[in-house]
Every structure is written in structure tokens, then in C-alpha cells.
Amino acid sequence: MRVLVTGFEPFGGHVLNASWDAVRALPARWEGPDELVTARLPVTFAGAVDAVSRLLDAHAPDVVVCAGLAERADAVRLERVAINVADARIPDNAGARPVDEPVVAGGPAAYLSTLPLKVALAALRDAGIRAVVSNTAGTYVCNATFYAVEHLTAARDGTRAGFVHVPRADALPVEVTARALEIVVRTTLDHLAGRVAEPALAAGTEH
């Protein structure tokens, strides 16, 4: 199996981005026969989508996990749904600020993650890592990247893809975030291999 994990460059005045700091820590802890590819994406609507497309073409991964920063989060957020809307409260790193534009013109309204979210959620909680299933990835570059990945992998038989939002380093240490991403990847590989099944684990919200 080949795994692609991505994080983002800093944005919005931040000097660091915990998503990339965690992703770049993964190779040093990676073991096993599965191949790991990591990459840093630009925080631009056009650039991130283009970079993801090129990475998929170059590496043909079986599993794709994109990570991004959710600066107000206090837990790892396993994103359930990507929507076909780009609506930027702040400009991206190239100065673009789309309002109510589609990520992919003519694309479906939304895509669901194809990662085994409940397997990952249970494993993260068993490891003592705060984690939730989130039902909104926002409308900024993270959501656009998530949507693009799902759109591009929809025709790739067997490819699993999804998005994970991570807290700032002062809310969750980077080494813990890296461990969380590793767990998401490992549980997805186990699920693909038939070693684990999705549990009947409620993780919804009332609002």
C-alpha cells in the first residue's frame, strides 16, 4: 500500500502550522511495508487543489489523509463531509478571497470522507487522544482541499481519502498530533486489509 499524508504551510499571520509540523514528523516513526509519502501544501485555493492533483497523479496512493489547522480546536477532528463551496472570511496566502464559489464547477454538492472514521475515532480514544467526528470542515482552503481530494479519488477504485483538522501546538503537542495522524493511517490500512470493522459508535451532534 502507498499512503499520502499532507499538511499546510503557515497562514493568517501564524509562523508555524501544526498540521505540517505533525506530518513532517511521520517519516521518522513510520515502520512496515507500506510506503509513506508526505507533502506540504500551499494555503491557496488554486495552489492546494493543483498540488493535490499532481501528488495523486505522481504517486497513485491507496490512502490519502490531508491534515489542516483548526486554531480553535481542542481535539483532533475527523472531518465527515466536504462541501462544494469556497467562501473565504480571510484571503488565502495568494490574496484570493472567493465568496460563494464552487470548488469544482458542476461537481456534487458534497462528498463524504471515505476513511473509516469510527474505527479511527475508537483507536484515538483508546490511545488517550482527544478526538471527535466533525460535520463541517469550514469553507476555506482546508475544505476546498478535502473536496478536491474526494472528487479526484472518486473514480479511483479502492482509494480511501479524508481530512483531519488538528489543534494548535499549544492545545495539543505536535508529537501527539503526529501520533494521531499515524493512528488514522494505520487504522485505515487495517480496515482495507479486513483486520478491523467499523464499530457502531455514535459520534453525532444535536446542532
Active site residues: 79, 142, 165
77 beta partners: 132, 165
CA pair distance 203, 175, nearest whole angstrom: 25
CA pair distance 15, 40, nearest whole angstrom: 15
**Cα-based distances in Å from 24 to 6, 172, 177, 181, 185:** 9, 16, 11, 11, 14
CA pair distance 154, 157, nearest whole angstrom: 7
Nearest C-alpha neighbor of 56 from the set 5, 20, 17, 117: 5
